[in-house]
Structure 1
Amino acid sequence: MIELTDVRKVFPARRGAAEVTAVDGVSLSVAAGEFAGVVGPSGSGKSTLARLVNLLERPTSGRVVVDGQVLTDLDDDGVRKARRTVGMVFQHFNLLDSRTAAGNVEHPLELAGMGRAERRARVADLLDLVGLADRHGSRPGQLSGGQKQRVAIARALAARPKVLLCDEATSALDPASTAGVLDLLRQVRAELGLTVLLITHEMAVVRAVCDSAVLLDRGKVVDGGPLAEVLTRPHSPLAAQLLPAPAVTDTRGDLVRITVTESAPEGRVLRTLAGELGLDVEIVGGSVETVAGRRFGRLLLAVTGDDGRLDPALQRLRDGGSLVERALPGDEPVPVDLTEPEPDPAGQAPAFARLLDSPDVQR
C-alpha cells in the first residue's frame, strides 16, 4: 500500500544556516491493512517522512507509491487527487475553534462539494464511530484532549481514505486518553480495512498497536521489520528500544541475556538450565511485555555450575527458538533518547494549511 524507494528530502539553506537533509535515502514498505510505526530520536526526520508519503512535502529525490499510484510521477493536480485516499492526524489536533465537533468533521466534505444531507449523515456516522455522538454540538474549547483527537480522527476519515497517517497523534495526551485513542485506531483499522502509518517517539505506543516498525536516525533507517522478527534478531537497535536489555552491573558467574517468546517462554528456559542440566540460575533482571499482541521478554541470568554444560545448554535453547547472547558489562545496546517530539523543518501548521487549501477539496 505504501512504498518509498531511496527517498531523500533536503531543505534549502535559510538565513545563513546550512541546508538540512531531513530524510536521507529511506526505503520503506507497508502492506495493505498493516499498522506500521516510525520511531526515532528528535530530529531524525520522522515527521518529514510522514508528509513525504502524501507529498505534502515533495521529495528531493526518490520514489513514493501509495495504493499503486506513483505519486512522484504526478503533477500537482494529480497529487491532489491521489491525496484523497490518505487521511492525516496531527499532534495538536488543528481543529477550527469557530466550528463545533460536527462542523470540524463536516468541513472537508463541505469544501469537496458534498450535498448537505449526505454530509450530515456522514458526520453523524463518523462521530458515532469515534464515540462522540453526544458531543456533536461542542466546540473544541469544551472538549478534552482525547476528545479533540477523536474529532481529528473522524475528520481524517471523512473522505473514506485507504491510508491513515498519524503524526505524533498521542504525544499531547495523558496516558488514559492515549490508551483510548490507540483503541480507536485499532478499531477503525479493523472495521475500515485501513493501512496506518504511525509516527511516534513513544515506544509504549509501538508495542501496543504496531505490527511492524522502522527506526530512523539522522534521516536514515537503521533497523526495522515485523516486530516479532525484530525482537528475536541479535544486536537489533530497534529491539533495544522496544525491550531495553537489562544492564549488566556485576560479573557473578556466567551472564546470559535471553529473549523469551510464547514459543520459548521463561519457564522452559529456566527448567532447561536448572532442572534438566543441573546449573544454578539466578534472574538478575529483565521484563516481559506484550508486543504486537504477543508475549516477549528480556532476561539477564547469572548461571553457575559445570562450565562444560553451559555452551551445550545455550545451544539447546537457541535450537528451541530463544535468542541467547553472552553478556558482559557495558555490552548492552544503549537506547537513544526518544523523550521529546522532534522539531521539524517543514512545520505542522503550514502542512495542515496546505492540506485544507488544496484545490482537490474546493468546490
Structure 2
Amino acid sequence: MIELTDVRKVFPARRGAAEVVAVDGVTLSVADGEFAGVVGPSGSGKSTLVRLVNLLERPTSGGVVVDGQVLTDLDDDGVRRARRAVGMVFQHFNLLDSRTAAGNVEHPLELAGVGRTERRRRVADLLDLVGLADRHASRPAQLSGGQKQRVAIARALAAQPKVLLCDEATSALDPASTGGVLELLRQVRAELGLTVLLITHEMAVVRAVCDSAVLLDHGRVVDGGPLTEVLTRPHSPLAAQLLPVPAVAGGAGDLVRVTVTEDAPEGRVLRTLAGELGLDVEVVGGSVETVAGRRFGRLLLSVTGDDGRLDVALQRLRDGGSLVERAVPGDEPPPIGVHDEPEASGQPEPAVPHVLDIPEVPR
C-alpha cells in the first residue's frame, strides 16, 4: 500500500546555515491493512518522512508509491487527486474553533460539494464511530484533548481514505487519553480496513498498536521490520529500545541476555539454568510486555557456576528456540540520542491546511 524507495529530502542552505539532510535514503514498505510505526527521537526525520508519503513535501530524490500510484511521477494536480485516498491526523488537532465537533467533521465534505443529507448522515456515523455522538454540538474549547483528537480522527476519515497518517497523534495527550485514542485507531483500522502509518517518539505507542516499525536516526533507517521478528533478532537496536534492559556493573557471575516469548517463557529458561543444571541465577534487570498482541520479554541474568555447564545450558536453550546471548556490562545498544528538529536550522515547517484534498461526491 505504501512503498518508499531510497527517498531523500534535503532542505537547501539558507541564511548562512548549511543544507539539512532531513531524510537520507529511506526505503520503507507498508502492506495493505498494516499498522506500521516510524519511531525515533526529535530531529530524526520522522515528521518530514510522513509528509513525503502524501507529498506535502516532495522528495529531493527517490520514489513514493501509495495505493499503486507513483506519486513522484505525478504533477501537482495529479498529486492532489491521489492525496484524496490519504487521511492525516496531527499532534495539535487543527480544529476550527468557530465550528462544533459536527461542523469540523462536516467541513471537508462541504468543500467537496457533498449534499447536505449525505453530509449529515456521514458526520453522524463518524461521530458515533469515535464515541462522540453526544458531543456533536460542542465546540473545541468545550472538549478535552482526547475528545479533540477523536474529532480530528473523524474528520480525517470523512473522505473515506484507504491510508491514515498519524503524526505524533498522541504526544499532546495524557496517558488515559492516549490509551483511548490508540484503541480507537486500532478499531477504525479493523472496521474500515485502513492502512495506518503512525509517527511517534514513544516506544509505548509502538508496543501498544503497531504490527511493524522502523527506527530512524539522523534521517536513516537504523533497524526495522515486523515486531515479532525484531524482538527475536540478535543485537537489534529497535528491540533494545522497545524492551530496554538497564545497564549493570560487572559482578561475580556471567551475564546472559535472554529474550523470552510465549513459546519460550522465562520459567523454562530459569528451570533449565537453575533446576536442571544447578546454576545460581539472579535476574538483574529486564522487562516483559505485550507487543503486537504477543508476550515478549528481555531479561539480563547473572549466572554463577561451572562455565562448561553454562555453555551446555545456553545451547540447550537455543535448541529449544530461545534467543540467548552472553553479555558484558555496557554492551546493550545505547538509547538513540536527541537532536534538534531539521526545521530549527532555518527551514520553516510548511503550512498545513486544516483540510486536505477531498474528492467530489455526487449530490
Aligned-residue CA RMSD (Å) = 1.9
Cα distance in 1 for residues equivalent to 2:242 and 2:6: 26
Write out aligned runs for 1:1-363 (5 A): 1-337=1-337, 342=341, 344=343, 350-352=351-353, 356=356, 358=357
Deviation string 1:118-167 (CA, Å, 9 cap, x unpaired) is: 00100000000000001111111110000000000000000000000000
The 2-side partners of 1:148 and 1:361 are apart by: 26
CA contact under 8 A between 1:42 and 1:343: conserved in structure 2? no
Partner AA of 1:160 in structure 2: Q
Change (3 A) 1:349 1:96: farther
* AA matched with 1:205: V
Report the Cα offset of residue 280 of structure 1: 1.6
SS in 2 for 1:299: strand
Separation (CA, whole Å) in 2 of partners of 1:341 and 1:196? 27
CA-CA distance at 1:306 after TM superposition: 2.1
Q: How far, CA to CA, are the matches of 1:246 and 1:109 in structure 2?
A: 50
Question: How many residues are aligned here?
Answer: 360
- The whole-number CA distance in structure 2 between the counterparts of 1:101 and 1:359 is 19
After TM superposition, the runs of 4+ consecutive aligned structure 1 residues lying more than 3 A away are 340-349, 358-363
Identity %: 86
Contact 1:168-1:341 at 8 Å conserved across structures: no
Question: Post-superposition shift, 1:64?
Answer: 0.3
Amino acid at match of 1:315: Q
SS of equivalent residue, structure 2 residue 33: coil
Q: Could you give the per-residue CA deviations for residues 277-298 of structure 1, whole angstroms, max 9, x where no partner exists?
A: 1212111121211111111111
Q: Report the CA distance between 1:12 and its aligned residue.
A: 1.6
SS of the aligned residue for 2:248 comes to coil
Residue 265 of structure 2 aligns with an amino acid whose one-letter code is: P
Secondary structure in structure 2 of the residue aligned to 1:57: coil
Q: Assess, with a 3 A threshold, how the Cα gap between structure 1 residues 107 and 56 changes in structure 2: closer, same or farther.
A: same
Q: Which amino acid letter does the alignment assign opposite residue 223 of structure 2?
A: D
CA distance in 2, matches of 1:73, 1:227: 32
For the 8 Å contact 2:44–2:219, the answer to whether it is kept is yes
Distance 2:350 2:79 in 1: 20
Q: Normalising by structure 1, what TM-score?
A: 0.95
Shift of 1:17: 1.3
The Cα of 1:351 is off from its aligned counterpart by 2.4
Secondary structure, aligned partner of 1:13: coil
Structure 2 gaps, min length 5: none
Which runs of no fewer than 5 residues in structure 1 stay unpaired? none
